[in-house]
Structure 1
Amino acid sequence: MDEALLRSLIPGVLGVLVRRGAGFAAAEDAVQDALVEALRVWPADRPRDAKGWLVTVAWRRFLDATRADTARRRREDLVDEEPAPGPASALDDTLRLYFLCAHPSLTPSSAVALTLRAVGGLTTRQIAQAYLVPEATMAQRISRAKRTVSDVRFDRAGDVATVLRVLYLVFNEGYSGDVDLAAEAIRLTRQLAASIDHPEVSGLLALMLLHHARRAARTAPDGALVPLAEQDRGRWDTGAIAEGIGILQAALARDRLGEFQAQAAIAALHADALTAEETDWVQIVEWYDELTRLTDSPVVRLNRAVAVGEADGPRAGLAALAALDAALPRHTAVAAYLHERDGDLVAAARLYTDAAHKASNLAERDHLTRRAARLNARLRAAT
């Protein structure tokens, strides 16, 4: 049984049922029933039109459930006639499903979980493992999300920016459990790019590919984080870099700049440098200026301070950092790095220690602790 094929068909089949008038929760249950039936029947009798077969079986499961549920008699008009089986357009239905899962009434965590379930085709167990929560907790989250969007009607265009933000959240979850969410986010974004012609969709896909290309070099054999400047660039995926840059160039040529395109341009400049010393920091600062204009995000301004410190010297970076709220995540770590670059090892060691206490995950905490220990060892040796 081709599990990848089944997963790729789920959003299209679910979208057909929702478009025909099925509530989201009921449609999702019917699709799951059809998948179980496919696992039973297909090994011995594989249909020529896999999607059409799933649509037909899922719709019949939905009709059976609707007829049997007296509380849903208000939907009897749906069961008067069964649409003829056959293939349906995948693109419009899949796109509709993306917008449904990214509905503004959902919290970001619920939107991500629903996207992984309905569009990604992951099981509740797989999503729970990826988020390191009990399966029952994730099942409740998904059920609430399905109830929230059950009666949503699409009488106007959805918000592409919201869909992209949900996919970016999925990508940033990285890897845990038996699901590689970064790879899954790339797959889903490719699917979205096939459904909608939008430069920011291309920008996000390019950004994901360029970041993912560095994945193998981001950690040492012992699991320690390896900063960008210290990574073995020979381990970067040159194929993914070339694809990402090609997609980005095509998007930028349309002259409709958005934040994901700007972020991808910064990632491309890092990827294009053969060594850390050859990085074009001046151009990176210019792209951060564009990104600041587009988003006015404090996090973007924080990253810009690092770039300014590389392009114009650490004191210029510290001056840019001084204008930002010290409570920002990673503010202390950036200050430590810039003070180290400026030669103030005492302040840098203290700030690295402070930043380690504030770190949000164990890998980052260990990295910052090692930085502080290394500087303290240098100071002791000097005295």
Structure 2
Amino acid sequence: MSVLNGKKILLGISGGIAAYKTASLVRLFIKAGAHVQVIMTPASKDFITPLTLSTLSKNPVYSSFYEKEKENENEKWNNHVALGLWADLMIIAPATANTLSKMANGVCDNLLIATYLSAKCPVYFAPAMDLDMYKHPSTVETFSKLKEFSNTIIPAENGELASGLSGEGRMAEPENILRFIEADLERKLPLKGIKILITAGPTYESIDPVRFIGNHSTGKMGFDIAHAAANMGASVILVTGPSHFKLDNHLVKIIRVVSALDMFNACQLYFDQIDVAIASAAVADYRPKNPAVQKIKKDSDDFTIQLEKTKDILAYFGENKKNQYLIGFALETENEIENAKLKIQKKNLDLIVLNSLKDEGAGFGKLTNKVTFIDKNFNIEPMELKSKEAVSIDILNKIIKHYA
């Protein structure tokens, strides 16, 4: 899966002959799983039609600050600020000498430049111009200034130019632009090279072939952490109990298990290979000692099940960790802070993520969570109620800070 999957890309097209290549570029972005919006300068429409790019991107194409609405002929304002804030990435291709000069000097005379000046995301630009223009001191100075703005140049390629000359200045081919951006993003991912083991979901402990002891965990928290970690470049092993959630990412290896013993065995297999363990699963503390081979019949008014302790996965992590960074979860209903501190000491944790069932919006089956971080030095950091996706980012930021 491409690192661009799910990314919101704003493609700016300026008026050069290489604009015809942007049809292929849009298709490649879409194929990589990105969402694409296109902004064109008025001059670029002489080289490729907005209809072509709108059809390929499945979104309207913008080229002016105002547009006439067909039904009532009212003017519609195209909000350049909203477009700039929408994007995860902005790519300007082709970037002509004229457009690059405007970018460098803030000459805001069209929608593309206004959006560029409003963008908060990383900006890439792919120059396209004739050889002498590309080498001209003013262009070299423009490149230098844009690099100072933290914009990233996608180097022009050598080849036949529109003038008939041959040399440097040709816009990079769409496939090469895609590969350049993917490689650059992967290189900058904060968790690249880190291997993370995550446990998620409940465990089911069999009473008989039909019934089991379980809990209300859905696995969403663990899946959200795995998804976010992969997006940050980590290699993830996700060991999950029964859960309906799915995750399609080549950086995530999913191992589906049922019981606490299944989960323990899977974690034991991989623990020595990982850098970080995040134990977010709600693992059963006890299991039936002698599960029935056949379905138990309702023959008496009273029924007793003898339970025995399951193997403690988090304790195993703490006892066997070498350089691994170990994060545990605690779901408490009373004496939350004290119990969490005891768990840190007992399980040899580096960080615990404390949940309380007393907090509105927290707990099993919710889209949100309210956690408190407590580290091994007992520093306490309460967080506000957030989506579980946002909590996942907070957890991973702790890991990034650890490895910084």
TM-score when normalising by structure 1 = 0.31
State the structure with more CA Rg: 2
> Relative to total residues, which structure has the larger helix share, 1 or 2?
1
> Relative to total residues, which structure has the larger strand share, 1 or 2?
2
TM-score when normalising by structure 2 = 0.30
